[in-house]
Amino acid sequence: MLYILFTIIVLIPVLAGFGEIFQKIFGEIWSGISAKLFSGMFFLGMIWQMLAFFVPLNIWVESVSLVIGFLAFFYFKSYENFSTFSKSEILKLSFLILITIFSGSYYPFILDHFGYYVPSVGWLSEFGLSKGLANLNLIYAQMSVWHIFQAGFSHFSDTFLRINVVFLITFLLYIFEKKMWSLLFISPVFLLFIQSPSPDLPAIVLSLIVLNEIIKGNTNFKLLFAFSVFVFTIKPTMIWLPIFVFLYFFKKENFKFLWLGVLLGVIYVFKNIWLFGYPFFPVQIGGFGVSWLPNSETLRYSSEVAITKTYDLQYSISEIQKFTTWDYIHHWFTLHSYKKYIHFALIFSLIFFGIFAFKKKDKLTAILFISIVLKSVLVLLFSAQYRFFLEVFFVIFILVFHSKIKEKLGLLSFSFGALVILFLMSFPKILQSQIPTFKLGYFMEGFTKNQFLKPAYFALNSYQTFKIGNLEFNVPNYDLCFDTPQPALSPDAVKKYFEAGIFPQKISENLKDGFVWRKLSEKEKKELKKIISKF
């Protein structure tokens, strides 16, 4: 906890300083310290994303950024913004922040933390954005701007990757500034996302903030649209948000304010082409014939994995391919898992939302409903995993109960919800026995007294090194590459490359320059088979 407190003390002033610079250039999206902090995240995320094409996001980048942020914080006297809170509010905030810090000190348990978040941050810190990186590992093609943002602070100020704790604290400041207790009411759920640099948290929360600002009458289209595109670059399944903001403010005279959001979108598309070869992961359209396009077999396998995850890995791809249209629907609603209840909840929520929108008959609700339905259809078509539409429930809740929840109820809800979540994270065996299909529960390790000093984390650091062609790579002696030096490939990835008859190769001697794939020779196939036999 002390390490997380140090991270907060360092990063809050730095983000506020960059937020001040952002507001001097682009304007103020709303007033208050939360606007400065979120604007600082936005600004640094964009700066580092462009910088990462040329240099790694190493300790020098972090050090220079920290100095600039601190100088701006004191030069613009950003500390004065904190004095706007009353003593009573400071007391309540301190209590909520303490809970947040304590929650963030637990072991990470989201599976993507080990196979996606940490390796992505590690690569960015060491090499930046490398051309054709998807040829080394397709998961890198998703490279969220949130991991770019985390990578920039991963050497000194946030070595345990708890940036989401800082983000959630900023959200709490926003709630108290805006007196939006309906947001506080649902916030205990977000305590499950702060042990990892999960892009789900900033994507969901920022979408709710943008929605709230529009409901409250904020008409700053330029920045609202830019922030909505920023959310999309964090997690592309949030496509409904920029669609909603664009349609809601759709006027010919507003087109001149699109430029900042469009610029972010162009950078995002270029980043995808640079890493993946196509503009939008995982859609294989518009490759422009670049030489670093991923292998078709690798893409096919990735698509099949996404389809099997739709059905919670309970059916093989060959079984799913034999499904009729009715089978697709029936099996999605009858999974032997808690996820089927979420699927039912989604459909019922959309039906309720449709009825609510029809009865309310106002522009905002109608456009929001159309945007959410469009997003839901796209998710259902590509990979109908419940985690891709979680924000739908929060959006509907906020729309219906926007100003109907009072402070006392919000505080009680957060306190009770936090108590339940901390109890389950401290004694995960209860969760494992009561909900055996909740697979994340098996990655929870409970409470350890060391958490009072520093956040709990895993460090196995056991791997073997091999070489195929011009690529020397490391393979962990377990399933995922969360603490394996780069370039790292999981045993499963090595196996899949063997089955496809290909292997990644360096474009030059420098790993920063990127990767392509080439077919394996017969000799290399034999070498790879020997490697696979070791795991």
More confident residue, 435 or 462: 462
Is the pLDDT score of 228 beyond 90?
yes
Q: What is the pLDDT of residue 108?
A: 92
Q: Tell how far CA 252 is from the center of its chain.
A: 33
For range 164-173, the mean pLDDT: 98
Q: What is the pLDDT of residue 111?
A: 84
Mean pLDDT of the chain: 91
Q: What is the pLDDT of residue 443?
A: 65
Binning pLDDT at 50, 70 and 90, where does residue 313 land?
A: confident
In 456-532, DSSP assigns E strands to 463-468, 471-476, 502-506, 515-519
Binning pLDDT at 50, 70 and 90, where does residue 437 land?
A: low
Is the pLDDT score of 300 beyond 90?
no
Q: What is the pLDDT of residue 312?
A: 81
Which H or E run contains 65?
helix 59-75
For range 204-230, the mean pLDDT: 96
Q: What is the pLDDT of residue 505?
A: 96
For range 338-364, the mean pLDDT: 90
Q: What is the pLDDT of residue 457?
A: 84
Counting DSSP H helices and E strands in the chain, the numbers are 23, 4
Is the pLDDT score of 264 beyond 70?
yes
More confident residue, 322 or 67: 67
What SS3 class is residue 281? coil
Q: What is the pLDDT of residue 252?
A: 83
Per-residue pLDDT tens digits for 99-145: 999 999 999 988 888 989 999 999 999 999 999 999 999 988 889 99
Binning pLDDT at 50, 70 and 90, where does residue 439 land?
A: low
Contact 163, 455 (CB under 8 A): no
Q: What is the pLDDT of residue 440?
A: 65
Q: Which residues contact 395 (CB under 8 A, 6 or more apart)?
A: 207, 208, 211, 368, 372
Q: What is the pLDDT of residue 441?
A: 59
Q: What is the pLDDT of residue 326?
A: 87
More confident residue, 386 or 239: 239
Binning pLDDT at 50, 70 and 90, where does residue 442 land?
A: low
Q: Which residues contact 183 (CB under 8 A, 6 or more apart)?
A: 171, 174, 175, 208, 212, 398, 410
Q: At what angle do helices 200-215 and 33-51 cross, to 10 degrees?
A: 130
- When computed from its CA atoms, the radius of gyration of the chain, rounded to whole angstroms, is 23
Q: Tell how far CA 277 is from the center of its chain.
A: 21
For range 388-406, the mean pLDDT: 91
Is the pLDDT score of 433 beyond 80?
no
Is the pLDDT score of 39 beyond 90?
yes
Tell the residue number behind the tokens 């999974």, with chain if given. Answer: 335
Contact 141, 134 (CB under 8 A): yes
By percentage, how much of the chain surpasses pLDDT 90? 69
Binning pLDDT at 50, 70 and 90, where does residue 335 land?
A: confident
Q: Would you tell me how many other CB atoms lie within 10 Å of the CB of residue 394?
A: 19
Per-residue pLDDT tens digits for 68-105: 999 999 999 988 888 889 999 999 999 999 999 999 99
Pairing of strands 471-476, 463-468: antiparallel
Q: What is the pLDDT of residue 459?
A: 80
Pairing of strands 502-506, 463-468: unpaired
Contact 416, 408 (CB under 8 A): no
